[in-house]
Structures are given as structure tokens and as C-alpha cells.
Structure 1
């Protein structure tokens, strides 16, 4: 997962075609994107490790609470990214701003979807966890 995140962050930078003046604002955004990705990876690992226990309990209410907690965490992450991105974004031209939105979405789109009621669809509870092959 880290290699894919690195590639997406690199694609964001290359796709923006930053000028020398814009480059000075890149490190703060890159650092924040990496920190957020690292935190998400740790939460995903924890989520998967506890999947069987959650499934056996079948507690929909607890699933809702977990989902709410995840959304709150996501909100904080998005604020961090917005704060780190603003100085760079404010200095982009219109075509770069358009590319920025598309490319930034690519950085995290694989982390943001398909969560439902506190259960992740990748949880194959009748199969052994094969995280290395995912």
C-alpha cells in the first residue's frame, strides 16, 4: 500500500508541473499526505485484525459508532490536508488547479469508499486473512 501511495503522491507532483516558485510550497503538502496515508494504513490494519470479532458480535449499533468515529477522523484529516495544500493551491494557475483536484482525489480514493455500517467489504471472514496478497 505504501508503494502505491508514494506513486500517487509522485503523480500529483509531476502532474502539477510546478514552477520553481511553487515548489517551495510542496514539502508541507507532501509531508501531510504521507502522514495521513500512514495513519490510515495503521487504522486499516487494526480494523482488519478486529474484523472477525466485530462480525461475531453482529452489533449494528457498535458498527454505527465505529463508522461515526471513522468519519470524525476523516474530517480531521481533510482539514490537515486543506491547511497544508492551501499555500500551494493559491499559487497554482487555473489549469494546475483543475489537475490538482483530479490528482489529489487519486491519492486517497482507494481508502475512502465501500464502508458500510462499520463493516468493510474486504472482510472475508470465512477465509484466512491474506493481507500480503491484497
Structure 2
């Protein structure tokens, strides 16, 4: 049962890490229940599980920011919500043809923002009309 508690603490920690930034020293708060074990020997098992859960919760919160890709000016995600941009690149996978539209996995190599060109890397899922047809490797 304690594995379920620790797993839930990990997921909750990742969620909290997405909402709040945690400093590295916050992980030390997970050690507080372990320090109480000599003073409360009858509650040893409960303190160990509580310490593991708290340590895992804080560890999940610290793990979230490190799992994100870097968002610098050479990353495509840096330009999200920046208005209208022009992206140059290549169709990276076979198009997913739907009834009325087509989904393209697009590997970006260059972006134009305010008439300034920047080299970027990243992929985007683009919804385009079904015709004209696009193929793997097309440069757009």
C-alpha cells in the first residue's frame, strides 16, 4: 500500500511543480519525518512512509522543470503565442490524411519573425487542407 502512496505523491509533485517553482533546498523538508523517528519510536513505520511520500512529492516538483525542453531563441517552442510567423522546414513523417484535412509533422529549420530570419530546431503538427497533397520530405 505504501507504494501507492509514494506513486500518488510523485504525480502530485509533478503537478505542483508545473504550477509552482521549487528551490533545490526544498528537498531537505522531506527529511523532517526521518529526523522524528528517534523521538517517536512507536510511529516508526508511519514516519518512514510519510518521509518517503514528502521526499517523493518534492522530488517530483523538482523533476518537472528539468523534463521540459530548453526554450531559447533557437527552439521552435520559444515562438509560441508570438503572433504570425513564417516557418521553413521539411515534412518529417508521412502525412496523416483525414476526411477534410491533412496533419503534417513538420521539422522546422528556419523562422521569420518581423522580417528577421532565425535558425531554429523543433517539430510542429500542422493542419493543412487535403489538397494539394503533401509527401514525406517535401520542403515547405
What range describes the TM-score normalised by the shorter chain of this pair?
under 0.3
* Rg comparison, structure with higher value: 2
Q: Which has the higher contact order (CA 8 A, sep 6+)?
A: 1
Greater helix proportion = 1
Report the TM-score, using the length of structure 1 for normalisation: 0.27
Greater strand proportion = 2
Report the TM-score, using the length of structure 2 for normalisation: 0.26
